């Protein structure tokens, strides 16, 4: 077996053991099982998007499960990894970081000023009555 290059991407395709791949019915059953488990994990991630929980992380976990058997999922994960790496490199650029810090500071200042105006204009009244 030839040594792979350090940065070479792994080959696409099924990672099922050879004895499973050699038997068509067993391999199809294996793929259906992987698909169902991946679908359950992706579904849980989608449910977690509006609810508390690591929604996107769980969705990508489900995609990783699918990527063990399906080429399309492997290609999606490679594309996603490439885009995340590009975004990380861009975010680490000192000019972009400075811009993001300035925009965040201005946004927070606007929120504080608007909150202060609201409290000054309408007062701060809690929705529950403590004295009952």
Instruction: Specify if 114 maps to a domain.
Output: yes
On whether both 37 and 63 belong to a single domain, the answer is: yes
Tens-binned pLDDT, residue by residue, of the chain (132 aa): 455 555 666 677 676 667 677 777 887 888 888 899 999 999 999 999 888 888 888 998 999 999 888 888 889 888 988 988 888 888 788 888 889 899 999 999 999 999 999 888 888 776 666 665
- 33 in any annotated domain: yes
Residue 127 included in any domain: no
Q: Are residues 71 and 109 in the same domain?
A: no
Domain span at 20: 11-89
- Structure confidence at residue 1 (pLDDT): 46
Q: What is the pLDDT of residue 30?
A: 80
Is residue 3 in some structural domain? no
Q: What is the pLDDT at residue 22?
A: 72
Structure tokens belonging to residue 100 = 């993001």
Which distant-in-sequence residues (6+ apart) come within 8 Å of 9 by Cβ? Answer: 78
The CB-based long-range contact list for 8-13 (8 Å cut-off, 24+ gap) reads: 9/78, 12/71, 12/74, 12/75, 13/71
Query: Does residue 82 contact residue 73 with C-beta atoms inside 8 Å?
Result: no
- Cβ-count burial of 22 within 10 angstroms (0-12 exposed, 13-18 middle, 19+ buried)? exposed
């Amino acid at each position: 077996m030839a040594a792979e290059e350090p940065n070479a991407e792994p080959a696409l395709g099924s990672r099922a053991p050879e004895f499973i791949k050699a038997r068509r019915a067993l391999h199809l059953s294996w793929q259906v099982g992987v698909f169902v488990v991946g679908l359950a994990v992706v579904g849980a991630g989608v449910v977690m998007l509006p609810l508390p929980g690591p929604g996107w992380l769980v969705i990508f976990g489900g995609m990783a499960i699918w990527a063990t058997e399906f080429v399309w999922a492997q290609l999606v994960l490679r594309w996603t990894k490439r885009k995340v790496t590009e975004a990380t490199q861009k975010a680490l650029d000192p000019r972009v970081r400075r811009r993001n810090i300035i925009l965040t500071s201005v946004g927070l200042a606007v929120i504080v000023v608007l909150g202060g105006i609201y409290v000054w204009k309408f007062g701060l009244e809690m929705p529950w009555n403590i004295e009952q």
